[in-house]
Amino acid sequence: MALLLLSTAERGEVWPRVFAEAGEPIVVGETSVMDPAAIDHIACWVPPHDLSAYTGLRTVISVGAGVDHLPPLPADVALSRTIAPGIEAMVRDWVVMATLMAHRDMPTYLAQAREHLWKAGRVMDARARTVGILGMGRIGRLAAASLGNLGFRVRGWSLSGRPVDGIDVFSAAELDAFLGGVDILVCLLPLTKATHGILGKAVFAKLPRGARLVHAGRGAHLDMAALLNALDAGWLASAILDVTDPEPLPKGHPLWNDPRVIVTPHVAAQTDAREGALHALAVIRAVREGLPIPGLVARERGY
């Protein structure tokens, strides 16, 4: 039995080396598959359209942190999303950067600089701002700790409201109370039926006037028209987005030239090839030994 890797050329070079060191068989690319029944794991961004020939398939491993892009899989195939320290640290860094940019009015100053305009606004201490993080999973907790170290007041929101060391975490039912005190809203949610479109009119209206948005979740969390309306109404002061709907943001889209908005092209993190391979090896071992599968996705929850 072997793992089938369907991914980038770089991963196609690195994974076989890492697998060889571990003594695990790997097949790179669907055209190299001799016997589909001998494939027990597929690591990919998008799996083959037709999985029926892979009769021995045990797991599909998403080479990214998200799984929302995957089609429905057979019920007896486990789904794992890549857990890698590099992904978590990269997204944490992007969130810290974007939160600092939002906090220090960088969208305004970048726009002013393009106009050669020297005009100072009021500078605030980080301690005077509350950052609210939607999604208190591994990355949310990491970002919360770093932002807290910078002096921000930090609060979180998650479905369970499970407390995290030193940070107030609001539960699903407490969304309004959570939003009411948030100056900078950070979205790190997984995309599920329950979170689709969550960054829309109702949520923006619950934020204090002048709040800022930092978004590293998924494009489909965000109602782009509602964002533009909130910016135009002066309700939101700025938005820093790593994800948009659609992606890429089309040429000529109003957000490209909006002085209140900074867009980055879905680069908060990229999975390091070696770390991705190590995650896959950990999954293979766990399945073989009947241990909990790293990054196992609860299908009914969607993450």
Residue 280 CB, shortest distance to ligand GLV, in Å, is 14
Q: Which of 33, 60, 65, 90 binds ligand GLV (CB under 6 A)?
A: 65
User: Which residues between 222 and 281 bind ligand GLV (CB under 6 A)?
Assistant: 269, 271
Degrees, nearest 5: CA angle 234-237-240 = 135
Residue (of 216, 254, 247, 211) closest to 230 by Cα position: 211
Q: Is residue 57 within the footprint of ligand GLV (CB under 6 A)?
A: no
- List the catalytic residues: 218, 266
Burial of 111-134, coded b for 16+ CB within 10 Å and e otherwise, reads bbeeeeeeeeeeeeebeebbbbbb
Q: DSSP letter at 166?
A: T
Toward ligand GLV, which CB reaches closer, 197 or 219?
219
Specify which residues 185 forms β-bridges with: 132, 213
Residue (of 100, 182, 187) closest to 149 by Cα position: 100
Degrees, nearest 5: CA angle 61-219-93 = 75
Q: Is residue 44 within the footprint of ligand GLV (CB under 6 A)?
A: no
Q: Is residue 64 within the footprint of ligand GLV (CB under 6 A)?
A: yes
Q: Is residue 48 within the footprint of ligand GLV (CB under 6 A)?
A: no
Q: Are 67 and 81 in contact, with CB atoms under 8 Å apart?
A: yes
Toward ligand GLV, which CB reaches closer, 66 or 161?
66
Q: Tokens in use for 243?
A: 């994800």
Q: Is residue 302 within the footprint of ligand GLV (CB under 6 A)?
A: no
283 Cβ contact list (under 8 Å, min separation 6): 41, 59, 61, 80, 293, 294, 295
Give me the residue label for tokens 């609001």.
170
CA distances 106 to 17, 98, 148, Å, are: 43, 9, 20
Toward ligand GLV, which CB reaches closer, 167 or 240?
240
Position with the least CB separation from ligand GLV: 64
Q: Is residue 47 within the footprint of ligand GLV (CB under 6 A)?
A: no
Toward ligand GLV, which CB reaches closer, 27 or 297?
297
Stretch that binds ligand GLV, among 60-68, 111-119, 145-153, 249-257 (CB under 6 A): 60-68
Toward ligand GLV, which CB reaches closer, 45 or 235?
45
Q: Is residue 33 within the footprint of ligand GLV (CB under 6 A)?
A: no
Toward ligand GLV, which CB reaches closer, 26 or 87?
87
* Count of residues in contact with ligand GLV, rule CB under 6 A: 5
In angstroms, rounded to a whole number, what is the distance separating the alpha carbons of residues 21 and 3? 15
Q: Are 206 and 234 in contact, with CB atoms under 8 Å apart?
A: no
Q: Tokens in use for 183?
A: 């100056």
Stretch that binds ligand GLV, among 58-66, 178-186, 257-265, 278-286 (CB under 6 A): 58-66
Q: Is residue 144 within the footprint of ligand GLV (CB under 6 A)?
A: no
Q: Which of 25, 66, 86, 181 binds ligand GLV (CB under 6 A)?
A: 66
Would you tell me which residues interact with ligand GLV (CB under 6 A)?
64-66, 269, 271
